[in-house]
Amino acid sequence: MADGKMRKNHTYKALNRVFGKAVHRYEMISDGDRIAVGLSGGKDSLTLMWMLNERLPRVQIGYELFAIHIDPGFEGGFSDSLERHAEKMGHALRVEHTDYGIRGHSPENRENPCFLCSRLRRKRLFEMADELGCNKIALGHNKDDIIETLFLNICYAGEISTMVPCQSLFQGRFVMIRPLAFADETLIRRFAMDQGFPEFVNPCPSAKVSKRQEIKTLLNQLYRSNRKIKGNIFRAMSHVKPDYLLK
């Protein structure tokens, strides 16, 4: 972690700017917070953990971080390697070994394996946060994830909705925060490369053939046609005109 703190180039500055913008706009973090950080092993969650840890000595509030990883149970998992990486970052990673991915891909659930696995992991994440006495749960979803979720819900759920940067849940027992909500995936990818984060290969058989991947491919085609499209879509989610929607 000490080495990583030295690599504050223009990519770090750009990421820190949008990270701070999201945190301050939605008042995501308060003094005394106990924050459970979902560490999936992807570049987003590794970047989230790094940024939350790096800003601690710079801000005038104190908060605690608790790294959590839920292993879905696939062969070729990387929880041991992720645990070692977390230790290098100065955090003891709590790993929960499950069979959620196997159950999600069982013969009885082949039509939508991602839905069941995700629901089970989310439920266990809340339980673990509660066991740790955490009041906040931080996830590494970025700007691209939020846009993709909007299109997923339009195309496959028949509704206009997406993930939000900050959300109170269970009558205020938990607050879900997404400090990378304003960060482009490409910016996070450059930052992860600059920091030399290890790459953990997702062993899930649906990782590259999911509905989300289909939407990502579609959106990337749109982005290549006009570089303003991504920004316009993201801004549109906070400039909704209900009078011009069907009722």
DSSP string, 90-151: T---EEEE--HHHHHTSGGGTT-HHHHHHHHHHHHHHHHHHHTT-SEEE----HHHHHHHHH
pLDDT in tens, 86-100: 998 899 999 999 988
Q: How far apart are CA 72 and CA 150, in angstroms?
A: 25
Q: Residues for the chain: how many in total?
A: 247
Lowest mean pLDDT among 52-56, 76-80, 144-148, 224-228: 76-80
pLDDT for residue 4 is more than 50: no
Stretch 152-181: mean pLDDT, rounded?
96
Q: Is 218 helix (H, G, I), strand (E, B) or coil?
A: helix
DSSP strand pairing (33-38 vs 63-71)? parallel
Stretch 173-198: mean pLDDT, rounded?
97
pLDDT in tens, 5-23: 445 789 999 999 999 999 9
> What does the pLDDT read at residue 197?
94
Which contacts qualify for 205-209: CB closer than 8 Å, 24 or more apart?
Answer: 205/74, 205/105, 206/105, 206/113, 206/114
pLDDT for residue 162 is more than 50: yes
Please report, as a single letter, which amino acid is at residue 166. Answer: C
Name the pLDDT band for 57 (thresholds 50, 70, 90): very high
- What value does the mean pLDDT of the chain take? 91
Q: What are the distances in angstroms from CA 66 to CA 21, 116, 131, 162, 227?
A: 23, 25, 11, 26, 38
Percent of the chain having pLDDT more than 90? 76
For residue 186 the two structure tokens come to 């490409």
Lowest mean pLDDT among 72-81, 113-122, 148-157: 113-122
> What does the pLDDT read at residue 138?
98
Q: How far apart are CA 31 and CA 27, in angstroms?
A: 11
Name the pLDDT band for 1 (thresholds 50, 70, 90): very low
Beta bridge pairs of residue 177: 138, 166
Stretch 16-42: mean pLDDT, rounded?
97
For residue 27 the two structure tokens come to 């008042």
Q: What is the DSSP string of 143-193?
A: HHHHHHHHHHIIIIISS-----SEEEETTTTEEEE-TTTT--HHHHHHHHH
Q: What is the pTM of this model?
A: 0.91
CA 237, 242, 243, 247 torsion-angle sign? positive
Q: What are the distances in angstroms from CA 17 to CA 14, 87, 108, 211?
A: 5, 27, 46, 31
pLDDT for residue 85 is more than 90: yes
Q: How far apart are CA 154 and CA 152, in angstroms?
A: 5
Ordered domains of the chain (ranges, CATH): 2-239 (3.40.50.620)
> What does the pLDDT read at residue 220?
96
Please report, as a single letter, which amino acid is at residue 219. Answer: L
Stretch 124-150: mean pLDDT, rounded?
97
> What does the pLDDT read at residue 114?
77
> What does the pLDDT read at residue 3?
44
Helices 43-55 and 185-195: crossing angle, nearest 10°? Answer: 70
> What does the pLDDT read at residue 2?
40
